[in-house]
A and B are shown apart, each in its own frame.
Chain A
Amino acid sequence: MKLPILLSACALAVAPLSACSLTEDNDSGKNSSNKITVTSTDDKCEVSAAKAESGRISFNVKNDGSKVTEFYLYGEDGLRIVGEVENIGPGITRDLVLTAQPGTYFTACKPGMIGKGIRADFTVSDSGKDVTIKGVDQKTIDTALAQYSSYVKDQTSQLVADTQEFIDAYKAGDDDKARTLFPTARTHWEGTETVAESFGDLDPKTDLREADLEPGQKWTGWHAIEKDLWPPAKGYTAFTPAQRVTYADDLMANITTLNTRVQTLTYTVDQIANGSKGLLDEVATGKISGEEDIWSHTDLWDFQANVDGAKVGYETLKPLLDVKDKALSETLATRFAELQKLLDKYKVGDGFVFYDTVKEPQRQELSDAVNALSEPLSKMAGALTL
């Protein structure tokens, strides 16, 4: 399953994050009367009203021209971008929603995406409503982003160490030790899985399941070794010691590459938020059904690691979300706790029971808790970037 976190609606369809109004408070998100339609053609920018009342304003921008266009709301100085919507193809309609204080602004369409655009004055009068921005300061955002970066680096460095120990045991033929280390080493992979998956070349080499193979595709990585350690009773030829070395070293090389790459990786708020949601999707699609670790049945270690990773994402963004949407933040905290309580029922020592002992009604209970968390989690990115 590929969930490239580097793609995000905010970055693609709307604007760079800084302009995604992260520093603004959300109100209810419901429509007010401030709905303005904009028609952008190759030489005109028709805005249905030149004024609005302070508060939430939505611009419905239709591109009636032949070129790709953009729409901007600039501040009084004509430089500060209050809000923007990019990449509007011919014939396409996009919405720009923002909160505006009383003041003087400029609207601008940019057919062809170049130049100063076709500008017009825009006035926001005082509605009397409190539109004070209870924003998050840049320092809080920077802190969160730095924290997440550290978390990923920490996880991958542990992944390198634990994988080394795992392949050493495996190469040495100490299968019992290797079987013990398999789920715990993978924990660090699973906790940051969406980051690893954003490298399109590393994920298939490292984490492909047998069922995912295309005809003729060579199977490498965790799960090939997993099958060798927990071989099916019939029809399987164990790896030779030489093959073991090949598979183990290949896995190690890819993990090392991952570790190198994350050292310079930076993140945006929406990437972290979507990454958290993506980790829960991993649980819902692979772990809950027992398809991830079909030979070892160590799915619950992966499950827990995905949840832990998602929770780190949430907690990293919590100072922001508490400002932007406190109710959503509280729901997420509750749902994470409820899911953890369920997972705890399957804990044995430092690990878990094997997933083949978890029967349908229990799996359904876990699935319900994952759904209960995933649904509000899917709203986190939008709540933060609106």
Chain B
Amino acid sequence: MTTDDQNSTVSRRRLLGVAGAGALAGAAALGGFELAQASDDAPETPSAGLAYDFHGRHQAGIVTPSQDRLHFASFDVTTSSRDELIALLKAWTEAAEAMTTGASVGADTLTNYASPPTDTGEALGLPASGLTLTFGFGPSLFTKDGKDRFGLEARRPKALQHLPHFPADNLDPARTDGDLCVQACANDPQVAVHAIRNLARIGFGTVAMRWNQLGFGRTSSTSTSQQTPRNLMGFKDGTANLKGEDAAEIEKFVWVDPSDDANASWLAGGSYLVARRIKIQIEPWDRTSLSEQEALIGRERAHGAPLSGGTEFTDLDLKIEGRNGPLIGMDAHVRLAHPSQNNGTKLLRRGYNFTDGTDALGRLDAGLFFIAFVRDPGKHYVPMQNQLSSQDGLMEYLQHTGSGLWAVPPGIRKGEYVGQALFA
């Protein structure tokens, strides 16, 4: 937890070098759960020297200003032993504590030339690069094939269900679900990949990687200090989504409240992570006229202003009409995703652009790896996605190919391990 003392350790010079004064204001507004700290070894890229505290009331990597790169991994637990599962979570916690400070895994282990190194080594000499590691528990960790695997079923949150089938879903089982997930975000892709690789290595025998996804560029901003990035459709994405600075709304839409689910009090202060691998039909989209692209999105492309007028951050006017009906069409993405059309719901998103090479027909296999953190997926995600999947004009160019929902336990206090309250 942050105190003013800790804040005073922030290197103003470096932070200001990163993102201007907004970053500092942002950190303060967040209550500083994730404290930006300066690293001693001055990095090439100023932002690479950032280090976020692994510990806190909430897990880092949720309201933390979106880092540029993602490596997301889903794991299945291969052991049936609760003790082994707990041992893994402890080992992961220890490794995460080290890696998020820029240290190696097992750095205090003595060199043994006859053993493989404890750390795989590709991040040696690299700074922490703002690495955050965020852990989640999937529905199948609790029950699989009708079996209460680790004696956890009684404490399974009611909202932790497999996501329902949405219209037009074409999910690949090899990119869907998983007992555990780890979201690694960093400003250096090598640092993010190193983190997932080492966690997977530590897990052999207890977990096996089910699937993973690299994201090469953020498509969301989770802080008002950040510019809104563009997705692969070429548009600014997530302008109207929640920012970490919206403290009251973060409480309302992101963090699970102790009163939400009496059986799952362990999740209080946590959240739910929704992941969707959304393939964009890149080639057809690129052949679409600018006017149609803008109409489907509901914003003009150059600056991201809503078609109803103003500038990027101007509120939508869903009523204002032009010659052919509302300026923001009835099937426009921004309309259907707007809080007013979703019972006031606002999303905190951490999406990333991805490309996974080409498909068998030579088309770019690319799109948006959507991540959102929600307080109640049944209320804050499923209805919105149903609406988008069935009515959003953009769906003609999109296909959801992977999916998952995980309960994200609250932050880890020093001396605790990830998800400790669930096993208490």
Contact = CB atoms under 8 A, between A and B. Distances in A.
Interface of A: 8-10, 13-14, 20, 29-31, 56, 58, 94-95, 97, 270, 331, 335, 364, 368, 371-376, 378-379, 381-386
- Output the residue of B113, B116, B206 with the most chain A CB within 10 A: B113
Contacts of A373: 205
B109 A29 contact: yes
B78 interface: yes
Contact of A97 (B112, B205, B206, B208): B112
Contact of A386 (B108, B114, B116, B206): B114
Q: Label chain A's interface by main secondary structure.
A: helix
B115 interface: yes
A10 B113 contact: yes
A386 B204 contact: no
B109 A31 contact: yes
B208 A29 contact: no
A368 B111 contact: no
Q: Which 3 A-B residue pairings sit nearest by Cβ, starting from the closest?
A: A382-B115, A372-B205, A95-B111
Contacts of A58: 110-111
A14 B204 CA distance: 29
B201 interface: yes
A55 B161 CA distance: 53
Interface string B229-252: 000000000000000000000000
A219 B132 CA distance: 52
Nearest to A269: B114
Contact of B112 (A364, A371, A386): A386
Given A371-B208, A372-B78, A97 B111 contact: yes
Interface of B: 78, 108-116, 201, 204-206, 208
Contact of A29 (B78, B112, B113, B204): B112
Given A29-B109, A372-B78, A382 B205 contact: no
B112 A382 contact: yes
A5 to B, nearest CB: 13
B208 A379 contact: no
20 contacts: A8-B114, A9-B114, A29-B110, A29-B112, A30-B108, A31-B110, A58-B110, A94-B113, A95-B113, A270-B114, A371-B205, A372-B78, A375-B204, A375-B205, A378-B116, A379-B116, A382-B116, A385-B112, A385-B114, A386-B115
Contacts of B115: 378-379, 381-383, 386
A100 to B, nearest CB: 14
A371 B204 contact: yes
Contacts of B110: 29-31, 56, 58, 95, 97
Contacts of A384: 114
Contacts of B204: 371-372, 374-375
A375 B120 CA distance: 13
A385 B114 CA distance: 7
B197 to A, nearest CB: 13
Contact of A13 (B78, B113, B116, B201): B113
A275 to B, nearest CB: 13
B370 to A, nearest CB: 26
A378 B117 CA distance: 10
A374 B204 CA distance: 9
- Output the residue of A13, A20, A379, A384 with the most chain B CB within 10 A: A379
A29 B205 CA distance: 22
A376 B111 contact: no
B126 to A, nearest CB: 20
B205 A381 contact: no
Contacts of B111: 58, 95, 97
Contacts of B116: 378-379, 382
Contact of A368 (B78, B112, B114): B78
A380 to B, nearest CB: 9
Contacts of A10: 113-114
Contacts of A374: 204
A375 B114 contact: no
Given A368-B78, A385-B114, 5 more contacts: A10-B113, A31-B108, A97-B111, A378-B115, A386-B112
A373 B78 CA distance: 13
A182 to B, nearest CB: 32
Contacts of A97: 110-112
B173 to A, nearest CB: 9
B112 A375 contact: no
A282 B109 CA distance: 29
Contacts of B205: 331, 335, 371-373, 375-376
Contacts of A20: 114
A382 B109 contact: no
Contacts of B114: 8-10, 14, 20, 270, 381-382, 384-386
B78 to A, nearest CB: 6
Nearest to B78: A368
Contacts of B206: 372
A323 B270 CA distance: 44
Contacts of A56: 110
- Output the residue of B114, B116, B201, B208 with the most chain A CB within 10 A: B114
Nearest to B109: A29
Nearest to B107: A31
A376 B116 CA distance: 10
Contacts of B78: 368, 372
A378 B112 CA distance: 12
Contacts of A270: 114
Contacts of A368: 78, 208
B81 to A, nearest CB: 10
